[in-house]
């Protein structure tokens, strides 16, 4: 199956601007990197792959030998994947109430108590008079009168007063009180001045004596000492008093089928605050129901409760106040995962495999989410960036790829054809942050911008650029871990290993973008695209030891770590070191200088990561069900709303396995599932796994690639809870008949492919998808047949109508006599309305027939 993006690119040559055209096309420079369409045939075959496979990123080894695994569907519904954050104190974060508030009020400051006791008036003139009166009680009436005369505003008119104040700022040397005050008196003067005069008066000490001077600034409306006239630009800090403990409101966020940053952006828009006001301990998977803590700087819980009702796919609750959250402020995540349609193994053997994972753990690979889900993986972009090959990096970001929306395919095809301006115009408004940033930079008016590839790549947000290079680090680590397991096994530490002593603490990534959730930032390019509002976590330097013959008995296999490549890490002392050298060398990089050259942001320090990890609090249960649309696990919001716990049906047709466990931060649950199931965890493999539910395996194997894709799409129930349907047996599924019809008709493969690669199509109900596929398969190439049928129906109805008109006059006559009778009796004047009526009847009959055909 050819790539629609490349087909479109080939069919869209870069035309030269015509004379008199409104605006010439912006062409990609002649020295731009070659597009995917100009690559060799082998590269084109690679580009048609829909997803990155495990072996492509070094994921090849297992812990339990001899186990063949079983098949099941992961995330048949996004509600089959529940994630609850575990905070730094080891507590599982739960959403238990939409309204509960833990809000101890902050004790009032000394100044606030003094102001409350004095009863400060809001009116500016009254506040000034009251302030002078209070100074008189401290300094005496004579000094207070001098202060009043010196500080009294010269003009009450706003514009004239502002001019007078500006002049006073340059000419006022200040009023110096000829008397000495003790410390307590000076503090009282400062307090009164600040509370009643605001920023309009400055008080300082000169040789132990107080000096009062006008600052040239008039107190703002609402500020003590200011007028009641509305100000043009309101101070952010004044207004409602913030008297909570801590500057941040903490809340528990439950989101469904949404990216963490998308929800944060939605919150920021509804509250009209900067996205940087929010903090999270980590990003969570999109295709799941996740619960995590968030913080909002100086946003009261009442406002959060109000906007929570207007949010889509998210709920807020359990409000409290404290310091802000930073990336990495968590210990791990609690998972509840439902595997549906389990086949290929009995309960006893699966239970033994689960017990092995509980005791022996699994290889702590970086999951496929780290590398992206498209044919152009994130680590490829990172490799080009680390080589400072900016042309290649830009081209990889913009290169056409399979499986995206139609708008993205069109935009990438325009880029491949050389139309930079057209590509930017076609880019969807949401997502594609990296692509839009690069294209805008290439189109900027700066000198040489169209050829400045380094500047174009640098236009991508900082966190997203780091995601690319960290993905390359993860690739190197995965390959090193596979070599360690393959060469030395998983039973014990061996000489040459690096180990962290027990009790030294859980290793965390030194890099600030650690994948805190099982499928954290980096699963999609847009997931980490927006600038994170959190501050970076201080780097935790971990002390590792080199395992030798003398001390190898002091370490277990769970103490063994491997480094992510960088300039501040130690490498193992055995053959695994060669994997680092060879992988970097094949990418044009050197181990000795890795992380020390290039731009500062790409000077990587490195990190350490455990080779094996084990789940904690591991539980499993078998369930049987009939209706695949029914939930088998309860989310926190469902518990609040009183939804009953799903129960297993004793004689259910299908089998499911429900797992619950804890994993440390940056560990991937899909890698644990891989160890148990022994199946590819790539998203494309899961889609293919659904194909036999819509057609038998023999039928799927015999069909062409497009028809097989139709089967997968038609049988795919996606993750929309409102559109879930049970999966019928393959032999009785209506998808089988659909598949046969679609595969037997030529149809338009381009339109079929357009449907299958459009995410919006896959979010539609199953019946709608089937109907669209049938229509796409028939309509384009069979239009001539429908036209012929319509013409024939029209002729038949017309002849019948004419005959009916004539037969009442010439019953004995036939053939030509009928036409003569029409002419002689002047019935020809009725031919036009009869023709129109014939056409309408024919159209209706044709529509009725097509409706019946498509329905069946």
Annotated catalytic residue within 165, 285, 662, 718: 285
Which residues are CB-contacts of 688 (< 8 A; sequence separation ≥ 6)?
712
Are residues 386 and 469 in contact, defined by beta-carbon separation less than 8 angstroms?
yes
Q: What angle do CA 481, 487, 491 make, to 5 degrees?
A: 80
Give the Cα separation of 200 and 219 in Å (integer): 5
Q: Cα–Cα distance between 790 and 845 in angstroms, integer?
A: 9
SS3 state at 336: strand
Q: Token match 């001390």: residue? A: 551
Q: In 344-399, which ranges are E strands?
A: 362-363
- What does DSSP say about strands 314-322 and 330-343: parallel, antiparallel, or unpaired? unpaired
The answer to whether 285 is a known catalytic residue is: yes
> Per-residue DSSP letters for 617-630?
EEEEEEEEES-TTS
The label of the residue with tokens 């995917």 reads 36
Q: What is the rounded CA–CA span in Å between residue 213 and residue 168?
A: 9
* Nearest to 461, CA basis, from 261, 248, 278, 759: 261
Token pair in block for residue 399: 């290169």
Distance between CA atoms of residues 322 and 244, nearest Å: 8
Q: How far apart are CA 679 and CA 814, in angstroms?
A: 76
Task: Please state, in angstroms and rounded to a whole number, the distance separating the CA atoms of residues 216 and 168.
Answer: 6
Nearest residue to 508 (alpha-carbon basis) of 703, 318, 331, 699: 331
The alpha-carbon radius of gyration of the chain (Å, integer) is 36
As a whole number of angstroms, the distance between CA 411 and CA 421 comes to 10
In three-state secondary structure terms, 195 is: helix
Give the count of beta carbons closer than 10 Å to the beta carbon of residue 765.
15
Burial class (CB in 10 A: 0-12, 13-18, 19+), 25: middle
Name the residue among 519, 831, 508 with its Cα closest to residue 668. Answer: 519
Q: Rounded to whole angstroms, how far apart are CA atoms 486 and 504?
A: 27
Name the strands in the sheet holding 175-176, side by side, starting at the edge strand that comes first in the sequence. 175-176, 209-214, 201-206
Task: Enumerate residues 6+ apart whose C-beta is below 8 A from 397.
Answer: 381, 434, 435, 438, 457, 460
- Per the CB < 8 A criterion, the answer to whether 814 and 806 are in contact is no
Question: Can you tell me which residue has the tokens 């770590």?
Answer: 561
Catalytic residue list? 285
């Amino acid at each position: 199956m050819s790539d629609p993006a490349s087909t479109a690119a080939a069919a869209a040559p870069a035309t030269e601007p015509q004379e008199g055209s409104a605006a010439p096309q912006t062409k990609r420079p002649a020295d731009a990197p070659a597009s995917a369409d100009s690559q060799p045939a082998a590269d084109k075959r690679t580009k048609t792959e829909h997803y990155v496979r495990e072996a492509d990123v070094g994921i090849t080894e297992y812990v339990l030998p001899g186990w063949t695994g079983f098949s099941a569907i992961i995330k048949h519904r996004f509600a089959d994947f529940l994630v609850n954050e575990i905070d730094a104190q080891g507590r599982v974060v739960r959403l238990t109430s939409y309204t509960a508030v833990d809000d101890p009020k902050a004790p009032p400051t000394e100044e606030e108590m003094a102001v409350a006791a004095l009863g400060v008036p809001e009116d500016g003139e009254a506040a000034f008079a009251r302030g002078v009166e209070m100074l008189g009680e401290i300094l005496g009436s004579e000094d207070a009168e001098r202060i009043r005369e010196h500080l009294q505003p010269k003009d009450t008119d706003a514009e004239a007063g502002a001019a007078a104040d500006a002049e006073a700022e340059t000419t006022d040397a200040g009023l110096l009180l000829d008397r000495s005050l003790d410390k307590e008196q000076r503090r009282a003067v400062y307090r009164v001045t600040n509370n009643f005069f605001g920023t309009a008066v400055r008080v300082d000490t000169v040789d132990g004596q107080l000096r009062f001077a006008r600052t040239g600034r008039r107190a703002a409306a609402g500020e003590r000492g200011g007028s009641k006239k509305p100000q043009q630009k309101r101070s952010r800090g004044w207004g409602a008093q913030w008297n909570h403990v801590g500057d941040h409101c903490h809340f528990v966020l439950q989101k469904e089928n949404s990216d963490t940053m998308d929800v944060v952006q939605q919150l920021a828009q509804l509250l009209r605050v900067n996205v940087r006001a929010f903090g999270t301990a980590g990003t969570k998977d999109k295709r799941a129901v996740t619960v995590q803590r968030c913080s909002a700087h100086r946003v009261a819980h009442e406002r959060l409760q109000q906007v929570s009702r207007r949010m889509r796919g998210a709920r807020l609750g359990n409000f409290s106040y404290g310091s802000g959250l930073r990336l990495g402020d968590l210990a791990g995540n609690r998972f509840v995962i439902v595997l549906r349609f389990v086949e290929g193994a009995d309960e006893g053997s699966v239970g033994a495999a689960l017990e092995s994972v509980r005791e022996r753990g699994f290889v702590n690979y970086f999951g496929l989410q780290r590398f992206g889900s498209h044919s152009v993986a994130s680590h490829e972009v990172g490799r080009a960036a680390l080589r400072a090959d900016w042309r290649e990096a830009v081209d990889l970001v913009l290169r056409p790829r399979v499986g995206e929306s139609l708008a993205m395919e069109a935009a990438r095809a325009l880029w491949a054809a050389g139309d930079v301006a057209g590509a930017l115009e076609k880019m969807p408004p949401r997502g594609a942050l990296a692509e839009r940033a690069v294209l805008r930079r290439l189109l900027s008016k700066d000198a040489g911008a169209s050829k400045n590839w380094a500047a174009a790549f640098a236009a991508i947000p900082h966190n997203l650029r780091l995601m690319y290079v960290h993905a390359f680090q993860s690739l190197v680590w995965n390959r090193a871990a596979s070599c360690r397991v393959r060469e030395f096994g998983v039973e014990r530490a061996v000489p040459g290993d690096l180990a962290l002593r027990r009790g030294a603490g859980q290793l965390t990534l030194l890099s600030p973008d650690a994948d805190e959730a099982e499928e954290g930032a980096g699963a999609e390019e847009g997931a980490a695209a927006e600038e994170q509002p959190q501050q970076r976590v201080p780097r935790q330097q971990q002390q590792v030891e080199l395992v030798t013959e003398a001390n190898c008995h002091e370490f277990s296999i769970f103490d063994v770590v491997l480094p992510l490549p960088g300039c501040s890490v130690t490498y193992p002392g055995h053959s695994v070191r060669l994997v680092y050298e060879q992988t970097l060398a094949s990418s044009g990089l050197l181990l000795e200088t890795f992380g020390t050259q290039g731009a500062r942001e790409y000077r990587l320090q490195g990190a350490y990561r455990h080779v094996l990890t084990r789940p904690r609090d591991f539980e499993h249960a078998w369930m049987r069900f009939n209706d695949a649309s029914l939930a088998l696990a309860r989310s926190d919001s469902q518990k609040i709303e009183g939804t009953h716990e799903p129960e297993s049906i004793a004689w259910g047709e299908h089998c499911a396995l429900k797992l619950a466990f804890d994993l440390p931060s940056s560990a991937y649950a899909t890698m644990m599932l891989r160890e148990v199931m022994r199946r590819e965890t790539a998203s494309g493999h899961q889609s293919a796994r659904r194909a036999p539910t819509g057609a038998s395996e023999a039928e799927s194997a015999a069909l062409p690639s497009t028809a097989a894709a139709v089967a997968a799409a038609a049988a795919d129930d996606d993750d929309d809870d409102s559109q879930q349907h049970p999966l019928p047996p393959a032999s009785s599924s209506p998808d089988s008949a659909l598949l046969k019809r679609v595969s037997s008709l030529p149809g338009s493969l381009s339109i079929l492919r357009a449907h299958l690669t459009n995410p919006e199509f896959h979010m539609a109900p199953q019946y709608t998808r089937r109907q669209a596929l049938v229509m796409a398969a028939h309509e384009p190439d069979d239009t001539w047949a429908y036209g012929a049928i319509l013409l024939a129906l029209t002729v038949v109805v017309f002849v019948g109508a004419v005959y009916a008109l004539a037969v009442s006059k010439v019953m004995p006559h036939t053939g030509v006599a009928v036409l003569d009778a029409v002419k002689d009796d002047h019935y020809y004047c009725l031919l036009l309305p009869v023709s129109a009526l014939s056409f309408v009847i024919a159209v209706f009959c044709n529509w009725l027939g097509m409706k019946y055909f498509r329905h069946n």
